[in-house]
């Protein structure tokens, strides 16, 4: 098979492999590179080599894609030509639920308790006077309840290990923050 296009998702790994294959092994095809966050916002800052490599991969792409304008701008700064942005999420937010439907001091994280998302930094920046109630974690994770307790610095309760082993599904999230009737 001789592909016309090679679409590499996650630029610092698959993008590097696609660039090396086209550059050094003569693999045919034009490259499209899709970035997902840390490959553009974190990896290039880790070392001069990773910065150089990210720039090379982006310059080799005939087209790059991103899921946010911030990331697309960073990709252009690093040498990308055309960048298309496909935002994830909602164009407009739904109406907020009535205050009586909210759990007081609920802390919800839609990402895993992984170091790349720095949950400790987020919680440390909250004022010490602000209580942290139950912690709901939306992303699947490898770290268990100890990570949540560490992140909260003893200032709140976290879901137990069983709850942290599975992501919150849409029904659980809806129960956590119900929308007013009719929305």
**92: in domain:** no
Residue 49 domain flag = yes
Q: Which of 56, 85, 114 is the last residue of a domain?
A: 85
Say if 119 falls within a structural domain.
Answer: yes
pLDDT at 95: 77
For 98, phi and psi rounded to 5 degrees? Answer: -60, 145
Return all residues near 75 (Cβ < 8 A) that are at least 6 apart: 35, 40, 58, 64, 66, 83
b/e sequence 142-163, b meaning 16+ C-beta within 10 Å = ebbbebbeebbeebbebbeeeb
The domain boundary, picked from 85, 118, 151, lies at 85
- CA–chain centroid gap for 166, Å, is 17
Q: What is the number of structural domains in the chain?
A: 2
Instruction: Please check whether residue 24 lies inside any domain of the structure.
Output: yes
Residues 14 and 62 in one domain: yes
The pLDDT tens digits of the residues spanning 28-51 come to 999 999 998 889 999 999 999 999
Based on the fold, state whether residues 107 and 162 are members of the same structural domain.
yes
∠ CA 179-91-41, nearest 5°, is 110
pTM of the full predicted structure? 0.58
pLDDT digits (tens, 9 = 90+) for 72-90: 999 999 999 999 998 876 6
Asked if 113 and 168 sit in the same domain, the reply is yes
For residue 148, what are the domain limits? Answer: 99-176
- 183 is a domain residue: no
- pLDDT by residue (tens digit) across 100-149? 777 777 766 666 666 777 777 777 777 666 666 666 666 544 444 444 44
**Position 90 in a domain:** no
Among residues 25, 53, 85, which one ends one of the domains?
Answer: 85
């Amino acid at each position: 098979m001789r592909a016309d296009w090679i679409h590499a998702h996650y630029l610092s790994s698959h993008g590097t492999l696609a660039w090396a294959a086209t550059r050094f092994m003569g693999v045919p095809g034009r490259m499209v590179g899709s970035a997902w966050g840390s490959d553009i916002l974190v990896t290039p800052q880790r070392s001069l080599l990773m910065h150089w490599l990210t720039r090379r991969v982006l310059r080799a792409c005939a087209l790059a894609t991103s899921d946010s304008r911030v990331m697309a701008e960073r990709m252009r700064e690093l040498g990308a030509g055309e960048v298309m942005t496909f935002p994830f999420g909602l164009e407009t937010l739904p109406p907020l639920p009535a205050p009586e439907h909210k759990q007081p001091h609920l802390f919800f994280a839609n990402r895993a308790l992984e170091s790349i998302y720095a949950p400790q930094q987020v919680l440390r920046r909250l004022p010490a006077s602000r209580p942290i109630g139950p912690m709901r974690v939306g992303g699947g994770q490898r770290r268990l309840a100890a990570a949540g307790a560490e992140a909260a610095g003893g200032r709140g309760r976290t879901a137990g290990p069983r709850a942290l082993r599975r992501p919150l599904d849409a029904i659980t999230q809806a129960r956590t923050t119900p929308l007013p009737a009719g929305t």
